[in-house]
Amino acid sequence: MTTSTKYKYVHLDEKNVLVITGSTIKVVELITSFKTYSQKPEELQKNYPHLSMSQIYSALAYYWDNQAAIDADIEKRSQYAEKLAQEAEEYSLGKEPKAEKNRTNIKLKKKFYVLLTVLTIVLVLAINYLGVPPNRSDFIRPVGHGVITSEFGNRLHPIYRTMKLHKGIDIGYCNGKPVFASADGVVNIASWISGYGNFVEINHSKGVQTAYAHMEKFFVNKNDWVKQGQIIGIVGGTGGVTGPHLHFEVLKHEKFINPRKKVNFPRLGVSF
Ligand SMILES: [Zn+2]
């Protein structure tokens, strides 16, 4: 590589490594601190007294003209320094070199990971084969088929146009289908309620209640005992609705909770 007289103290060698006559490492530091702290050449010289002013000027001039290559060189050196530091750490503890321990650990981790993956696949296949649903509780869906059309939570009410808590989950496209009791219990309410239309509420154990609204009709009376899966009504569009659907609520100690906490429904908009 030819070195021009302009840069008589610095050049990149054939491996693209920055070289300054008499000192290689220091010029890297110099350029790093020049870049980081924007120090003037005079200030730099105080920190690098072994370099002459002309060496510093030459180094900086060279840097301006070859920034990309020099930055790459500095980056490579710092990575190399980090690697050296890591390797030094690995070998500094205990009798067995740490790198050796790490290799053993990685092998064990890989084996464990493979085992875990195989077990998961076997479990998923078994569940699919046996048809066991991923059930969160003893509560079942109140209709056999439908589409989740609205979630529990705050929303703009489609009729009243105000922000209101939607106290349940809406299941559409199940008009005329039977409504099942989600779990064993005693009927607490079975009547027409303004807004809710034909409405049934069932008391279950542990302070849980389920409620079913907008039904076409219902077949139970207050204080009836109902079994899980018993047909309590037919999906309809009674009360304040924009279209027929089942509005299904779950209460725990008289507070509305997201029905998804009790019953496993598919995602919003997904049919089942
Ligand atoms: Zn609703």
Domain boundaries, the chain: 5-92, 98-132, 147-261
CA of 143 to the centre of ligand 1 (A): 14
Task: Tell me how far the alpha carbon of residue 236 lies from the centroid of ligand 1, in angstroms.
Answer: 13
Q: What's the gap in Å between 138 CA and the centre of ligand 1?
A: 23
Instruction: Output b/e per residue, 122-149; b: 16+ Cβ within 10 A.
Output: eeeeeeeeeeeeeeeeebbbbbeebbbb
Q: How far is the CA of 89 from the centre of ligand 1 (A)?
A: 62
Ligand 1 centre to CA of 199 (Å) is 12
CA 254 – ligand 1 centroid, Å: 18
* Distance between Cα 150 and ligand 1 center (Å): 7
Tell me what pLDDT residue 105 has. 78
pLDDT at 92: 46
pLDDT score of 221 = 97
Q: pLDDT at position 207, please?
A: 94
Q: Return the pLDDT at 239.
A: 92
Pair 211, 248: CB distance under 8 Å:
yes
Closest CA to 191 of 216, 167, 222: 222
Separation of CA 36 and ligand 1 centre (Å):
61
Q: How far is the CA of 210 from the centre of ligand 1 (A)?
A: 13
Give the whole-angstrom CA distance, residue 58 versus residue 21: 11
In the prediction, which pLDDT does 3 show? 42
Please give the pLDDT value at position 8: 58
Q: What residues of the chain score a pLDDT lower than 50?
A: 1-5, 23-24, 91-93, 131-136
13-66 residue pLDDT tens = 666 666 666 544 556 666 666 666 666 777 777 777 777 777 777 777 777 777
Q: What is the pLDDT of residue 138?
A: 82
Topology (CATH) of 147-261? Glucose Permease (Domain IIA) (2.70.70)
CA angle 244, 250, 251 (to 5 degrees): 135
Report how far ligand 1's centroid is from the alpha carbon of 271 (Å): 17
Q: Which residue has the tokens 């059309």?
A: 149
CA distance 109 to 259: 40
Query: How many beta carbons lie within 10 A of that of residue 19, not counting itself?
Result: 17
Task: State the number of CA atoms in the 13 A half-sphere of 85 facing the CB.
Answer: 6
Q: Which amino acid is at 257?
A: I
The C-alpha angle 49, 35, 63, rounded to 5 degrees, equals 80
Structure confidence at residue 15 (pLDDT): 67
Q: What is the pLDDT of residue 45?
A: 74
Burial 243-262 (b: 16+ CB within 10 A, else e): ebbbbbbbbeeeebbebeeb
**What residues does the ion ligand 1 have nearby, CB within 5 Å?**
168, 170, 247
Q: Give the Å distance between the CA of 263 and the centre of ligand 1.
A: 16
Q: Are 213 and 171 in contact (CB under 8 A)?
A: no
Predicted local confidence at residue 212, as pLDDT: 98
Residue 56's nearest CA partner among 73, 66, 65, 43 is 43
| 211 Cα: distance to centroid of ligand 1 (angstroms) | 11
Provide the 8-state DSSP code for 72: H
